[in-house]
Structure 1
Amino acid sequence: MKTLTAGRLLPVLGTLLAALLCALGPGAGSASAHAALTSTDPASGSVVPAAPRQVKLTFSEGVLLSADSVRVLDPQGRRVDESKPAHADGKSNTAVVGLAGGIADGTYTVAWQAVSADSHPVAGAFTFSIGAPSKTVAEVTTAEAGPVVDALYTTGRYAAYAGYLLLVGGCVFAGVCRSSRPVQRIAVGGWITLFAATSALLLLRGPYAGGKGLGSAFDLTLLGDVLATKPGAALLSRLLLLSAAAVFLAVLFGSYAREDGDRTRMERRDVAYGLAIGGTVVAVGLAATWAMAEHASAGLQSWLAMPVDVLHLLGVAVWLGGLAALLAALWSGEPVRRAEVQRFSRLAFASVCVLVATGLYQSWRQVGSWGALTGTEYGRWLLLKVALVAGMVVLASFSRRWTGRLTDGRPAPKKQAPAVRAVQAATGAAKAARPSRKDKDASPERAAQLARQREALEKAAGRRQRDADEGRSGLRRAVLAEAGVAVVLLAVTTLLTGTQPGRAETEQRQSAASGGARTTAPAASGPAETRIPYDTGGTNGRGTALIRIDPARSGNNSIDVSVTDPAGKAVDVPELEVSFTEKQKNIGPLRTALKRTSAGRWQATGFQLPMAGTWQLTLTVRTSDIDQITEIRNVKIN
């Protein structure tokens, strides 16, 4: 909720959209996140006359390497790499591994996996030949986090963001606007959520980045490797800062919240200044644990992007976390003065201004072009986020109207007479239910029953009294609507932090295109589409699958599958699988990790096709427990 009148609402929204359009004009220099493989030595798909001494990979940004980050397999699938992968010449965006001497001619497969500078795991594979190409039985599989680990890690990231917003927003609301028991529960609940989520993320980080199972979460060796990385250090720093935050909470809602008659006004002011400084340091430090390990830490202008990211997260926390604190105070029925609500309005409006400024810079940095805004997954999520923010601004105008109707006195007797009579009746009933001396001498069961009745009556009386003020009831409904949109907004933000930025995805496509131009296969224009009708023979077993491969070149590709029934309506099937096999060189099958995105639609991003040529696409569709069919088509990869 923000201080926005209807007259000021449209200019703010217009400025937001206009600035976003300007920010997506011509971009600056190269910027990436989610490291892209830009070149290899030997080159992908090349034929070299003699065995090289090493294999070198170059990425668009720095990567973190492990003992199995680069594996070189001979035509029989045996490893021929001898040394542990290392950075070439100390450059963090390279990986080099030595090869055994005297290896024979044939086609060799290089499978790689690493962690990009923004903490996200990346993987892929390519081939090269010595002397002449040959058949190979090497399995080009890269470790990926399983669906359980991926779901738990994503949930942990969402919970960590939510915990931070509640912790910071609740503390700011308590310090600036109003401190009460409901607000304290919001802040303490945020601390507990953030601590639990961070601990879980620290344990899950190893399985998530290394593609291992959930059982390895408690592997101390793997945990030690995680702590030696930048994401692990950020999570550990967050836990240490939360210990300081616990002390801050104890003071804010403990001795400072209590009215102390022995404390002078100046002493109380000094404590308030100390809390403000200490709380700011802790809040900034916690926000920095995200900025130093995610998108802001990699790519273009990282020296500026990280402090901007900290400001952005602080603005979100003050706005949405404070909104949750205000809703808790209103819902509890405690008296919230109009001045306190207006104070939060001004604070929230300033936070939104910070969000707009920092968000525009982040949009330009991560998207960079019109094409990336509408043609990449990151750009589409960003458009949804902007729409949600605009929706919250619209809802805030209604909250502002209800704020203008707030009064600090009792509701008007004439208008509120029915509600007041109901409150008085419930209060009288509660008093009548108080135990008499005779009741006190009754059995413990009877006393407990009377206590429950009395508690229920008092709670009902409190609810009626809370709803007696029309202004507060309307404000509570408006803030609740804002909070509902905020929950969705937080989910979209979490997905954005785990999605490859549009600028980086565009660079990967350009890199794949330039790499494909060096092969003997002719260049193709645009993605490849294959329409495959299927009929499993059972009930509702007929349909069509449209498979789109973009950009249909060797290297990184996105796979989009749309399934429709004979009438052309999108339809879900219990199981859908797509794989690729290169028959001539005996590579594959390479299975895609399809994820359902909407009704009848599945997608996979970052799918690696190691070389150009004619690949066999295998589609398996299951429409019931026993009805299944497999269809095969050929697709050209350049």
Structure 2
Amino acid sequence: MTTTIPRSPATLLLLVAAALATLLLAASPAAAHAELTGSTPGDGEVVATAPDQVSLTFSESVSLADDAVRVLDPRGERADTGQLVDEGGNTHSLTLRPDLADGTYTVAWQAVSADSHPVAGAFTFSIGAPSETTVEVSTDTGDQGAVGLLYDIARYASYTGFLLLAGSAAFALRCWPDATGRRAVQRVTLTGWTTLTAATIALLLLRTPYTGSGELADALDLDGLGDVIDTRIGTALVTRLLLLAAAGLFIAVLFGPYARLRATPEGDPGADLDEDTASRVKDLAFGLALGGTILAIGTAATWSMSEHAATGRQTGLAIPADILHLLAVAAWLGGLTTLLVLLRTEPALPREAVRRFSAVALTSVTVLAATGLYQSWRQVGLSWSALTGTDYGRLLLLKVALVATLLLAARISRRWTGLLTDDPEPAKETETAEDPAPEPLTDDPERARQLARQRTAVAEARRRQARDADPRRSGLRRSVLTETAIAAVLLAVTTALTATTPARTADSETPAAATEDTAGPEISGNAQGTLSIPFDTGGEWGQGTAEVDVTPARTGSNTVQIRLFDTEGLPTGAVEIRVAFTLPAEELGPLRHEPLHVGVGHWTVTDVQLPRPGEWEMALTIRTSDIDQVTETTTLRVE
């Protein structure tokens, strides 16, 4: 069976656009990358007297605007002073008004995670006794709807622009320096620079509605833009614009003085240069390579230092690895696009240029494999269930499949490269390539335009004939076209990955048989409903602390929140979490539950029915691998 590759670039672009639109429109909004891990007063807690302030603790550092946290009384009126204080340790407090009346109060909050994604939520507490409340708080974030879609499109465009800009420049300097004098390559580079610049400006303007109201009109809010610039992602975007300004000078030198120096006075690029000119070309090439490398690293760092790589564990290693990952992608995919353009416009593209790019691509793939495996381990862990049971894992599997398909297409291209010769086979003369009969001079404008169109058509026919004369080059062009189409979809999946919560854990699989160790360390915390339980499953990553909150710790329905932290105090994962409640005094239980995994290091189970008051035994089972498991038992007082 033979697959026909579309010859028309317009047809290919339509197919790729349809695939990307499907990915973007079918994608659900990104889950929160930070979460509220605790509060004072707690969710649903009833306090005897009005507190002076409300404190919120998050799983990672977050950015909060001045009005990001609000406390509303039962009638929906503000009950806080608006004075928000950063207490350190990912905790923020908001001062309350004095002499608050009894009743149920609602705390609504909205924050931006350290990896630049918005998150929002709400909870209630009561003073004296619960009461009815008329407050309705939306926990929707600005990354939904039209603003979220436009922001995702701008993110995709920014990645695409960087690949075209860095990849085409690297191709021109490393693989075929004479390409600097080709308009087709110049257009690729300028398209990349323009796309990245426009997308960066769009991201900067959309940041206010994306992290706030979700209203597109807020993109023109100058006060909001000032607040954005003060954030980590805002600083990164402004830095990127400054680097792009310097990149404009780099492009001007690359396609101006450097390209002219490589051309002989007769205008034959690539011909032998005199000794003085060759020395100047060498010095300028070195300067361009050094300056371009610095600009590329700096631009890649604006992503690495403001998104996933800048959060979590081992950021000192993750950020450089992510920069290398981005540079390798640009050298491979951006260079691939440049090669495709040259194969369509250059009948005599040197064999050596293709072979040099093949070596660059092989090196890039090696770097991608090493950095990709590290980032996958860092974000997913070693659990197979994390790959199949989370959005991040499934997108990662799709990315791996696309990379494998792309490598298969690249292997076919390498075979065609091995068959290339520097002299294309002579084209057979065809009737369409013959010169038209000389036309007499005419003063008729319409006739003149007709003759001009005819000459253009003949020139185009000759160009295509020369281009298609060598079947080996035609085969290489088709395989590179296939690679480029796959790469466009791969880039869309990668963009979706950056907007999805990293998956270091997975939902529970079928429990494996293991011996439960009921002897545990000392348990600390509030026996009424909040417990801090050290655990050690015996595995390499099996040490840490479980924070368990049972609310309201009274007879009837209760909610159990379980959060796991490693020895460094960072959220950590487990393959399986189980909890069981037993009341020995009345021989009730065990009442077993399997909590639902809702976030990184966070499980919850609702409607836990504890029918009698007394001293309940709570057994918490934590499994971090197929064989590493421990059960810690403590006492919970239920009223």
User: 2:532 is matched with which residue?
Assistant: none
Aligned match for 2:340, one of 318, 322, 327 = 327
Aligned match for 1:174, one of 157, 172, 175 = 172
Specify the SS of the correspondent of 1:322: helix
Contact 1:143-1:211 at 8 Å conserved across structures: no
Report which stretch shifted further, 315-324 or 93-102: 93-102
User: 1:427 is matched with which residue?
Assistant: 433
Deviation at 1:432, TM superposition (A): 2.3
Contact 2:559-2:606 at 8 Å conserved across structures: no
Deviations 1:558-601 (A, max 9, x none): 9xxxxxxxxxxxxxxxxxxxxxxxxxxxxxxxxxxxxxxxxxxx
Specify the SS of the correspondent of 1:256: helix
Give yes or no for the alignment of 1:270 onto 2:283.
Answer: yes
Contact 1:330-1:476 at 8 Å conserved across structures: yes
* Residues 523, 144 of structure 1: alpha-carbon distance in 2 compared, 3 angstrom cutoff: closer
* Residues 381, 52 of structure 1: alpha-carbon distance in 2 compared, 3 angstrom cutoff: same
Aligned match for 1:408, one of 409, 422, 442 = 422
Aligned match for 1:95, one of 92, 95, 107 = 92
TM-score, normalised with respect to structure 2? 0.73
Instruction: Measure, in 1, the Cα distance between the counterparts of 2:107 and 2:85.
Output: 15
Deviation at 1:334, TM superposition (A): 3.6
Deviation at 1:511, TM superposition (A): 11
Instruction: Measure, in 1, the Cα distance between the counterparts of 2:152 and 2:388.
Output: 24
Report which stretch shifted further, 516-525 or 246-255: 516-525
* Residues 378, 132 of structure 1: alpha-carbon distance in 2 compared, 3 angstrom cutoff: same
Aligned match for 2:369, one of 328, 353, 356 = 356
1:330 is matched by which residue type in structure 2?
L
Deviation at 1:384, TM superposition (A): 0.6
* Residues 613, 124 of structure 1: alpha-carbon distance in 2 compared, 3 angstrom cutoff: farther
1:268 is matched by which residue type in structure 2?
V
Instruction: Measure, in 2, the Cα distance between the counterparts of 1:511 and 1:213.
Output: 41
Aligned match for 1:230, one of 229, 232, 238 = 232
1:462-541 matches, cutoff 5 A: 462-503=463-504, 514-515=548-549, 519-520=553-554, 521-522=557-558
Deviation at 1:421, TM superposition (A): 2.2
Aligned match for 1:142, one of 125, 129, 139 = 139
Deviations 1:294-339 (A, max 9, x none): 1111111112111111110000000000000000000124421111
Instruction: Measure, in 1, the Cα distance between the counterparts of 2:162 and 2:428.
Output: 40
Deviation at 1:44, TM superposition (A): 1.4
1:65-76 matches, cutoff 5 A: 65-76=64-75
1:250 is matched by which residue type in structure 2?
A
Instruction: Measure, in 2, the Cα distance between the counterparts of 1:494 and 1:243.
Output: 24
Aligned match for 1:250, one of 245, 249, 252 = 252
1:543-554 matches, cutoff 5 A: none
Instruction: Measure, in 2, the Cα distance between the counterparts of 1:471 and 1:286.
Output: 37
Specify the SS of the correspondent of 1:408: coil
Instruction: Measure, in 2, the Cα distance between the counterparts of 1:124 and 1:455.
Output: 63
Instruction: Measure, in 1, the Cα distance between the counterparts of 2:296 and 2:32.
Output: 25
Contact 1:234-1:289 at 8 Å conserved across structures: yes
Deviation at 1:83, TM superposition (A): 2.9
2:428 is matched by which residue type in structure 1?
V
Instruction: Measure, in 2, the Cα distance between the counterparts of 1:345 and 1:102.
Output: 74
User: 2:191 is matched with which residue?
Assistant: 189
Aligned match for 2:354, one of 341, 347, 369 = 341
Deviation at 1:518, TM superposition (A): 6.3
User: 2:312 is matched with which residue?
Assistant: 299
User: 1:55 is matched with which residue?
Assistant: 54
Deviations 1:347-380 (A, max 9, x none): 1100111101111111111112413222111111
User: 2:129 is matched with which residue?
Assistant: 132
Q: Which has the higher contact order (CA 8 A, sep 6+)?
A: 1
2:436 is matched by which residue type in structure 1?
A
Contact 1:207-1:216 at 8 Å conserved across structures: yes
User: 2:159 is matched with which residue?
Assistant: 161
Aligned match for 1:318, one of 324, 328, 331 = 331
Contact 1:183-1:329 at 8 Å conserved across structures: yes
Contact 1:420-1:465 at 8 Å conserved across structures: no
1:302 is matched by which residue type in structure 2?
T
Instruction: Measure, in 1, the Cα distance between the counterparts of 2:235 and 2:397.
Output: 32
Deviation at 1:345, TM superposition (A): 0.4
Instruction: Measure, in 2, the Cα distance between the counterparts of 1:104 and 1:511.
Output: 38
2:481 is matched by which residue type in structure 1?
L
Report which stretch shifted further, 512-521 or 207-216: 512-521
Instruction: Measure, in 2, the Cα distance between the counterparts of 1:382 and 1:50.
Output: 50
Structure 1: gaps spanning 5 or more residues: 1-31, 414-418, 528-549, 559-605, 615-638
1:216-227 matches, cutoff 5 A: 216-227=218-229
Deviations 1:436-478 (A, max 9, x none): 4x32x33122111100111012112211221121000000010
TM-score, normalised with respect to structure 1? 0.73
Contact 1:57-1:96 at 8 Å conserved across structures: yes
- Count, aligned residues: 494
Instruction: Measure, in 1, the Cα distance between the counterparts of 2:139 and 2:605.
Output: 12
Give yes or no for the alignment of 1:386 onto 2:388.
Answer: no
Give yes or no for the alignment of 1:397 onto 2:397.
Answer: no
Deviation at 1:211, TM superposition (A): 2.5
Specify the SS of the correspondent of 2:187: helix
Specify the SS of the correspondent of 1:502: coil
Contact 2:551-2:560 at 8 Å conserved across structures: no
Report which stretch shifted further, 186-195 or 256-265: 256-265
Aligned match for 1:204, one of 203, 206, 212 = 206
Instruction: Measure, in 2, the Cα distance between the counterparts of 1:551 and 1:511.
Output: 17
1:241 is matched by which residue type in structure 2?
L
Deviations 1:404-457 (A, max 9, x none): 11111131x6xxxxx5122xx3332xx3255x4x32x33122111100111012
Contact 1:34-1:504 at 8 Å conserved across structures: no
Instruction: Measure, in 1, the Cα distance between the counterparts of 2:553 and 2:340.
Output: 61
1:2-81 matches, cutoff 5 A: 34-81=33-80
Deviation at 1:204, TM superposition (A): 0.4
Deviations 1:477-533 (A, max 9, x none): 1011111110110000000000111128889xx999934566543468999xxxxxx
Deviations 1:30-54 (A, max 9, x none): xx98112111111112222211111
* Residues 484, 518 of structure 1: alpha-carbon distance in 2 compared, 3 angstrom cutoff: farther
Instruction: Measure, in 2, the Cα distance between the counterparts of 1:486 and 1:254.
Output: 30
User: 1:114 is matched with which residue?
Assistant: 111
Instruction: Measure, in 2, the Cα distance between the counterparts of 1:160 and 1:386.
Output: 22
User: 1:5 is matched with which residue?
Assistant: none
Percent of residue pairs bearing the same amino acid type: 54
Specify the SS of the correspondent of 1:84: strand
Instruction: Measure, in 1, the Cα distance between the counterparts of 2:124 and 2:221.
Output: 33
2:404 is matched by which residue type in structure 1?
A
Contact 1:144-1:212 at 8 Å conserved across structures: yes
Specify the SS of the correspondent of 1:61: coil
Structure 2: gaps spanning 5 or more residues: 1-30, 265-273, 509-543, 562-575, 578-593, 610-639
User: 1:531 is matched with which residue?
Assistant: none
Instruction: Measure, in 2, the Cα distance between the counterparts of 1:205 and 1:111.
Output: 21
Contact 2:109-2:120 at 8 Å conserved across structures: yes
* Residues 320, 516 of structure 1: alpha-carbon distance in 2 compared, 3 angstrom cutoff: farther
Deviation at 1:228, TM superposition (A): 1.0
Deviation at 1:86, TM superposition (A): 2.3
Instruction: Measure, in 1, the Cα distance between the counterparts of 2:213 and 2:286.
Output: 47
* Residues 241, 557 of structure 1: alpha-carbon distance in 2 compared, 3 angstrom cutoff: closer
The alignment's C-alpha RMSD in Å is: 2.9
Instruction: Measure, in 1, the Cα distance between the counterparts of 2:122 and 2:546.
Output: 13
User: 2:620 is matched with which residue?
Assistant: none
